[in-house]
Amino acid sequence: MFDSIQRTWTWLFLNIHIVFAILIVFGIGCLVGTIPIIQNFPFPIGYDSINYYLPTLYDLNSNPNIGGELFPVYVFLVYIFYLIVFSDLYFAYNAVNIVLYGSFGVTTFFLIKNVLRQSVDKSILFAIFVMFQLSTLRMEWDLHRDILALVFLNLCLVTINNMKSLVTNKFVLLQYICISIIYVATIFSDRMIGSLLIVSSIFLSI
């Protein structure tokens, strides 16, 4: 256990610039997600928040079957977070959305750095550029399932790319398990992103 902790600290020391890059991108993403919530508080933002997410979350206790609707991963994520950390469901909903957009920025950073093989500085700039696009800003308002699916999609692509550098069967098996879990989570997060992942996988396998 001591050796694993020592290796972790050694990795952090050697890759301190990557750690700072992650914190910068995550912080900017969380800030972007926080500003509209503060401006509109206590009112929710977006059509889907009022007509789908919040009613579904508030009804989940009284009607557990509602969680069995199509593509429920986001709803379960918010509700589990609410049960573990928060006493107010609306605050939990906003907190998850803020962290989710920050996570989207981080996974975009890794996608650009590892898959497209750009430098850390360029990856930071590209990730910030993507987060400030009008389409992604629109998604951040109330299309939270799409953001979650994009996070899973980015993680899936980064994990597949990292498999090329593995040599031991132990880590290859672990990577296959991780990819399978992320793959399923992507499909059940959003139908559009899930379909895109399936079609891309079919073409890549040919």
Write down the pLDDT at residue 140: 84
Residue range 71-99: mean pLDDT, rounded: 83
85 against 29, higher pLDDT: 29
Residue-wise pLDDT tens digits, 45-75? 878 888 888 888 877 766 655 555 555 788 8
Tokens of 21: 């890059």
What's the whole-model pTM score? 0.82
Residue-wise pLDDT tens digits, 130-151? 999 888 888 888 888 888 888 9
- DSSP collapsed to 3 states, the chain: CHHHHHHHHHHHHHCHHHHHHHHHHHHHHHHHHHHHHHHHCCCCCCHHHHHHHHHHHHHCCCCHHHHHCCCCHHHHHHHHHHHHCCCCHHHHHHHHHHHHHHHHHHHHHHHHHHHCCCCHHHHHHHHHHHHCCHHHHHHHHHCHHHHHHHHHHHHHHHHHHHHHHCCCHHHHHHHHHHHHHHHHHHHCCCHHHHHHHHHHHHHHHC
Write down the pLDDT at residue 28: 93
29 against 88, higher pLDDT: 29
Residue range 107-126: mean pLDDT, rounded: 89
Model confidence at 161: pLDDT above 80: no
Q: How confident is the model at residue 6 (pLDDT cuts 50, 70, 90)?
A: low
Q: How confident is the model at residue 156 (pLDDT cuts 50, 70, 90)?
A: confident
Model confidence at 21: pLDDT above 80: yes
